[in-house]
Each structure stands twice: as C-alpha cells, then as structure tokens.
Amino acid sequence: MMDPLIEKTGQHKPESALETPLPLQRNAVNSSKPAPKRFVKNQIPDSILNDASLNAAISVLPSNYNFEIHKCVWRVRSTGAKRVALQFPEGLLMYSLVISDILTSFADVTHCFILGDVTYGACCVDDLSAVALGADLLIHYGHSCLVPIDATKIPCLYVFVEIKINVDGLVNTIEHNLGSSKESIVLAGTIQFSSAIRSAKPELEKRGFRVLIPQSKPLSAGEVLGCTAPKIGSIANANESVAVFVADGRFHLEAFMIANPGIKAFRYDPYLGKLFLEEYDHKGMRETRRRAIEKAKSAKSWGIVLGTLGRQGNPKVLERLEGKMKEKGYDYTVILMSEISPVRIALFEDAVDAWVQIACPRLSIDWGDAFLKPLLTTFEAEIVLGEISGWWEKDGCDSCGNGLSCRESKSCCGDGNGMKDFHGDYPMDYYAQDGGEWNSSYVKKSVRPVRRNIAPSSGNGGHNVIDDNKETLQLGIGDFNHHALVHADDNVHVSIKNRLGNGKNLTLHCQSKDTDLGEQNVADGSEYGWDFTPNVWGTTLYYCDMGWEEVQQYNYDAYSFQRDFVRCVSQCSWLISAEGIYGLNGNTGFWEFAYNWSS
C-alpha cells in the first residue's frame, strides 16, 4: 500500500474529506529516549463550532451550501488576519455580504474586501488585487486549488462550496434510464458535486453497474474544468461506456465531450432531478478551428494577448511562445488584457493579422467565429509554429510533417512533450500536469531517471545479475524498484517551514540513524533545511521532534526514502501550520494537506 501522501491527489482537500493521516510516530524508537508526548489540539475549537450566535448567523446561508464558515473564522483568528479579501464566482456573489458581516463580527476582521471583478473559474484567483488592497488573507470560494497556495502572493484559503444534493435521486435516475443494459458508467462533474459523485459510486456498484470516476491531475477525482478534462480512452473503453455528468449547465460538460468525442454523454441536473442526453458538434468545431489555423499560417504580424484576469495568463507560457516566435522570425506584439472580446480586439484593425490568447482556450473554441482575425489557443499556435502536427494529421501518424518519423520526433504524435498521444482528438488539457508544452499547468509531470545497477544479459540465456561496478540509466514515471541501488550523486534537500502564525517559534530536533542535526529554533515565517545523500540501500530515514509554546512535542518523519523518493524528487518540503502539516508533492507542485492535528 502506498503512503497516504502519495495516494492523495494534488488538491488541498477540506478537512472533512481527510482519509488517512500521515503517521507521526516512527517504527523504531530510541529506547534511551522517552517516547514523545502527543498533545492533540482540535483543529477548529469547540468555542467556534458551538458558538450559538455564530451558528445563528450561518443559518441565514443556504443549508445545502457548505461555505465552511467555521473553518474560515478559525483560519482568520489563528493567522491574526485583520484585512481579508473575499472572492466569489458570480453565482455565489449574492452571499458575499452575509459572509463579510460574519467574518467582521466573529473573526475580528477590521477590513473585509469583496473582489467584484468577474470570476470565471479557479484560474481567476485574484491574489494580486488582494495584495494591492493590503489584505492579509484571501478566501476564494467556489473553486478548487488550481493555483498552488505557495504560488500566490498572499496566504490563500480555497473553499470548494460543496453542494448537498439528493444522491438517492441521482442513483435511481441513472438506474431507471440506463439500468437495463448495466453499462459502464463514467461519473464526473463540477467540484461542487464531488462528494455526491463519490457517494453515488458504491451505490451504483451495488446495483450492478461498473463505475469509473476519472481524474486529470492536479484536479480532484471526477472534477472537470471548462478547459481541462480527463481522457477516458486512456483508462477505459469509451465505446463501451456512457458518461453521466453532474452539473446544472453544459459548459464544463462540453470540455469533457471535446476531450472524449466517442463517448455518449448524459447530464444530470441535480436541481431538476432529470437526466438529459447531450450532444456536441465535434465536426463543426474542428472545421472552424482548422480554418482559423490555416488562415493564421499566412499572417505577417501577430498579437499575443496575456490575460490579466486573476491568474488566467501564465507568464511561463508567454515566455515559451515568444521564444518560438523569435526562433521562427515572426513579428509579434504582446498585449495585456483582462477581458478579451471581439469589440476590443477589433480596435487594432489591420495592425495584427492573427492573435494568440493566453487566457482561456474556450474563448477561441466557443467564440472564435466572432473575431474578425484568427484568435488561436496556445495549442493551435504550436501547430502554426510547426511544433506539432494538426489533429487532422494525427489519425495515421506514421510520419511527421517535418519529414521525421514519430520515433525521431517526440512532438509528432504526442502532445508536444512525449507524455501522451491524443490520437487525432482535440486535447482539453490546459491545466493537466501531463498536458502539452502549451498548457498552463504550474508543474508538469516529470520523468525521473531511476538509476539501477543492472548488468546486461550475457546473451547465453542466463538471468541478469546485479553488478555494483556497472550502471545503466532507465527512465520510469513513478515506478521505483525497491531492490535498486541509489546513485551516490542523488542529493536531497529537506526544508521545514514555520507557518504557525502569531509569532510562534518552532523548536525542531531532527536526526537519522547516523546524523544528529541538533536542536533548532525556527522563527515564525522562517525555515530550516539540510542536504544529504540517501544511502545506497534506500533505507534513509530522518525523523524530527518538534514543539511550540502550548505543545510540548510532536514527532514525524521528515524524510523516508521508500515514501519520498518519488514523491519529493530531489526536494522534500514541509510546511508546519496551526491546522496541520502540508507536504509539497514534487510531481504536481501542490501543497497537500498531509496531517490534521485533530486526527
């Protein structure tokens, strides 16, 4: 069984969804040293959970919407934040004033700002505006943690706002409409209904269905964005499955259908309690986008639009695109724009022949025909630049447009980085960690070299023999052979960040079997770290005793080779907060909630 840290997705789960805590106690305890005392501190104090006045104020909000107000109040109090910015999608903005009043009354907030700019999704988290307002904390409601909390310029709390629905109604409706054939069901939806999707799976399986909840990391299992959706063909037979998408609208479902054109899709409206068969004009969309690409190939001057609505525009994508255009000798201009519209783009008239927008691919897919000049996505721009072939050229994919075979060009049949093949489909992987080079994911899935000392076959039919004097380099993605020996140059850096808040100092004493790092006093906001080389047997273990003010001592493993070799890659980072321990997953780039103090 894999370690809980590795099993978790690259999302910050709400506390109620935590499954298996990271074990704090090590297996081997130094007998000469007394076992550390465990002091369990409630994550959300009873004084907050049982506050009658607070609960009365919360009752004004819809009971089936989980705004996690108790957690918000506790987070504000524990961090000492006085200036708090709140951000909502338009559908939740009506509750903003009530929540603002609650935080002002019960969390000692002196200034509560409501960010009123349009918020289309998690990509629009507006930490930059919050910083400009002098806020101490940003609370973003309605979306998952797409922009990592260590990438924002201000401490950020994501509240999914899960919505309770009638799960029995969902299950019964599926069985009534699809139960005769007991087809394989692919369950997905928006983040608000993720709990309902997970609850429906075992109930459907009891009734004879085969159920798959797909995942496109770093999104949660079953979660779909308007620009990012899992590819079913890579994990199941799409032709033998039907998709049931839980949502009250089509926008996110359309992303799923674009990514999976071969699967029949139904939408379950949780408010109407009805199942709708949905269709998408794949042929029309592809023809429209192909015409835009072909027209853009003759462009003399280009405009690159970097979206400035929250974090929609990714400077790393801009840097790559500029580099490719310079390499090809293209004339281009970079333009910053918060809202990209046909009217605004038309103001540039004929000064620009074709546009590439680094904001939201659905702007081009859904509204491209409304623009007078081609408005390409970053994926489509890669086709124009000759970095990859068009999807219409990929069905056979025996050779590349540049004369190379697929074996000679990793970008020919794949998605630009050799991670996967979209087999002629239009990819919807804009934030997927295994997506193409054009996408906006903060951390791509890495291919980590695993060094194994394996002698080549002698050619006489004998088995390969371990030879310490011979070394071959093999590539693997997340697959480590625990019998392999570690190369002596694989240095690891461990860092422990103190984010307890309120000026609390963290006392650390870390050691391994052979090395005692001594006691360290880490000030609030600071970090302590060290470098080492794992031993060749793969048994390295560093454990740390730690404590602060009201807590005498906790004990946890800061580095365990078998757990962290793949998860951490070469840097193992921990963040000690008032609510628990976060660990940085080196493969996803996301801080994962690893341990809850109240567990």
Four-CA torsion 121, 124, 127, 131, nearest 10 degrees: -130
Out of 36-40, 205-209, 563-567, pick the least confident.
36-40
Other Cβ atoms within 10 Å of 54 Cβ, number:
19
Dihedral over Cα of 142, 145, 147, 153: its sign: positive
Question: Which residues, in sequence order, are CB contacts of 176 under 8 Å at separation 6+?
Answer: none
- Give yes or no for a contact between 467 and 490, defined as CB atoms under 8 angstroms apart: no
Other Cβ atoms within 10 Å of 235 Cβ, number:
12
What is the predicted pLDDT for the residue at 172? 96
- pLDDT class for 235, splitting at 50, 70, 90? low
Q: Which one is predicted more confidently, 107 or 3? A: 107
Residue 406 is which amino acid? C
Out of 34-43, 80-89, 290-299, pick the least confident.
34-43
Q: What percent of the chain has pLDDT over 90?
A: 50
What is the predicted pLDDT for the residue at 293? 97
How far is it, in rounded angstroms, from Cα 175 to Cα 169? 10
Fold match flag (167-280 vs 283-387): yes
What is the predicted pLDDT for the residue at 394? 65
- pLDDT class for 13, splitting at 50, 70, 90? very low
**Tens digits of residue pLDDT in 277-327:** 999 999 999 999 999 999 999 999 999 999 999 898 899 999 999 999 999
Question: Which residues, in sequence order, are CB contacts of 564 under 8 Å at separation 6+?
Answer: 572
Q: Answer yes or no: is pLDDT of 21 > 80.
A: no
**Tens digits of residue pLDDT in 325-339:** 999 999 999 999 999
Q: Answer yes or no: is pLDDT of 488 > 80.
A: no
How far is it, in rounded angstroms, from Cα 331 to Cα 346? 19
Out of 127-131, 487-491, 519-523, pick the least confident.
487-491
- pLDDT class for 437, splitting at 50, 70, 90? confident
How far is it, in rounded angstroms, from Cα 253 to Cα 247? 8
How far is it, in rounded angstroms, from Cα 354 to Cα 298? 9
Mean pLDDT, to the nearest integer, of 230-238? 70
- What class has domain 46-162? alpha beta
- Give yes or no for a contact between 553 and 560, defined as CB atoms under 8 angstroms apart: no
Out of 122-136, 155-169, 583-597, pick the least confident.
583-597
Mean pLDDT, to the nearest integer, of 567-590? 78
Does the model's pTM come out above 0.75?
no
What is the predicted pLDDT for the residue at 588? 58
For tokens 């080196």, what's the residue?
586
**Tens digits of residue pLDDT in 239-285:** 678 999 999 999 999 999 999 998 999 999 999 999 999 999 999 99
Out of 102-106, 123-127, 262-266, 454-458, pick the least confident.
454-458
Greatest mean pLDDT among 33-42, 225-234, 295-304, 427-436 = 295-304
Residue 335 is which amino acid? I
Greatest mean pLDDT among 45-54, 420-429, 505-514, 520-529 = 45-54
Mean pLDDT, to the nearest integer, of 336-355? 94
Per CATH, domain 4-39+487-596 is 2.60.40: yes
Q: How buried is residue 250: exposed, middle or buried, by Cβ count under 10 Å (0-12/13-18/19+)?
A: middle
All structural domains of the chain with their residue ranges: 4-39+487-596, 46-162, 167-280, 283-387
What is the predicted pLDDT for the residue at 440? 86
Chain CA centroid to CA 250, Å: 22
Q: How buried is residue 489: exposed, middle or buried, by Cβ count under 10 Å (0-12/13-18/19+)?
A: exposed
Which of the listed CATH numbers 3.40.640.10, 3.30.465.10, 3.40.50.11850, 2.70.70.10 matches domain 167-280? Answer: 3.40.50.11850
Q: Which one is predicted more confidently, 144 or 485? A: 144
* Domain formed by 283-387, architecture: 3-Layer(aba) Sandwich (3.40)
Q: What average pLDDT does the chain have?
A: 79
What is the predicted pLDDT for the residue at 259? 93
How far is it, in rounded angstroms, from Cα 455 to Cα 474? 12
- pLDDT class for 443, splitting at 50, 70, 90? low
Q: Answer yes or no: is pLDDT of 34 > 80.
A: no
**Tens digits of residue pLDDT in 405-430:** 333 333 343 333 233 334 468 999 99
* Residue 93 tokens, joined: 């903005």
- pLDDT class for 400, splitting at 50, 70, 90? very low
